[in-house]
Amino acid sequence: MPATLIDGKAVAAAYRDRVQTDVAAFTQRTGVTPHLAAVVVGENPASAVYVRNKQRACEKAGIGSSLHTLPATASQSDLLTCVHGLNDDPTVHGILVQLPLPEQIDERAVLDAVAPLKDVDCFHPENVGLLSQARPRFAPCTPAGVMELLSAAGVETSGKRAVVLGRSEIVGKPMAMLLLARGADATVTVCHSRTADLAAVCREADVLVAAIGRAKFLTADMVKPGTAVIDVGINRLPEEEGGGLAGDVDFDAVREVAGSLTPVPGGVGPMTVAVLLRNTLTAAELQTAGEPG
């Protein structure tokens, strides 16, 4: 029997409705409109699409947004000046630096420069440290979105074996921390393309999160029957393979084995944006309350 599809668009829509209600209540109570500032360097078409989607989502949720664009030739100093200006602007509550950045810029130095209370992507080391202690200030957007999808699909994680395929700072590592946190209580393995006998490790999973950045990398023989599979990847296929988008999961084959499965697109992506909205509201709440940071 084919896997049950987890509809990320529907789950995200319900989540955004809750955020919209909470934003309206916050603004009515305080007179403050949460504001997300996006910083883009260069003219990457994919980045432009992502930022437009985030701006539209902000507008629907009652959150203000602004776009700060620098040329692809911008120096690290130029970008840091922009970030510091947004840090100092009391009307800006969240700062999102769109990745990837041009090669002349030290990505880590820029992300570290974002004020921790405005770091709605949860990339700053202070926020990562809080996450590692299971007391996050902000939920890392994509991993938190995955947890929402698992919950909405009725997937139990407590006491289960979870495998995270990918060890990135953005998805893999924070995903493992959320699965380990009290309440999730999974037994977690983080693996990657160089893990010995990778297929056997993946087959141990009751919950399998694929975030390795390779199209159709996870095949049916790597999945135990009935496993909940979450596909975080989004890859552009070459023209000789028909073009279009594909996740990190071989969708058609894995669907015949898995118990539940997210599609690409329409799975994790919408939840990432939804959690970003929640984090922007949280940032506004913290700053309005005067939390130091």
Q: Which of 22, 98, 173, 248 is catalytic?
A: 98
173 catalytic? Reply is no
Q: Which of 22, 119, 121, 250 is catalytic?
A: 121
**What residues pair up with 69 in beta bridges, in sequence order?**
40
Backbone torsions φ then ψ of 92, nearest 5 degrees: -100, 125
d(CA 164, CA 210) in angstroms, rounded, equals 6
CA distances 70 to 40, 44, 83, 185, Å, are 6, 12, 11, 43
Query: Concatenated DSSP letters for 169-232?
Result: TTTHHHHHHHHHSTTT--EEEEE-TTSTTHHHHHTT-SEEEE-SS-TT-B-GGGS-TT-EEEE-
Tokens of 166: 């990918």
Would the annotation count 56 as a binding residue? Answer: no
d(CA 58, CA 38) in angstroms, rounded, equals 11
Would the annotation count 234 as a binding residue? Answer: yes
Is 41 within 8 Å of 70 (Cβ atoms)? yes
Would the annotation count 31 as a binding residue? Answer: no
- Tell me the Ramachandran region of residue 134: left when phi exceeds 0, alpha when psi lies from -120 to 50, beta otherwise: left
Backbone torsions φ then ψ of 254, nearest 5 degrees: -70, -30
Q: What is the dihedral of CA 45, 49, 55, 57, to 10 degrees?
A: -170
d(CA 196, CA 214) in angstroms, rounded, equals 18
98 catalytic? Reply is yes
d(CA 22, CA 257) in angstroms, rounded, equals 39
88 catalytic? Reply is no
Would the annotation count 168 as a binding residue? Answer: yes
Q: Which of 22, 54, 216, 248 is catalytic?
A: 54
* Feature table: binding site for NADP(+): 166-168, 234
Active-site residues, by number, are 54, 98, 121
* Feature table: binding site: 166-168, 234
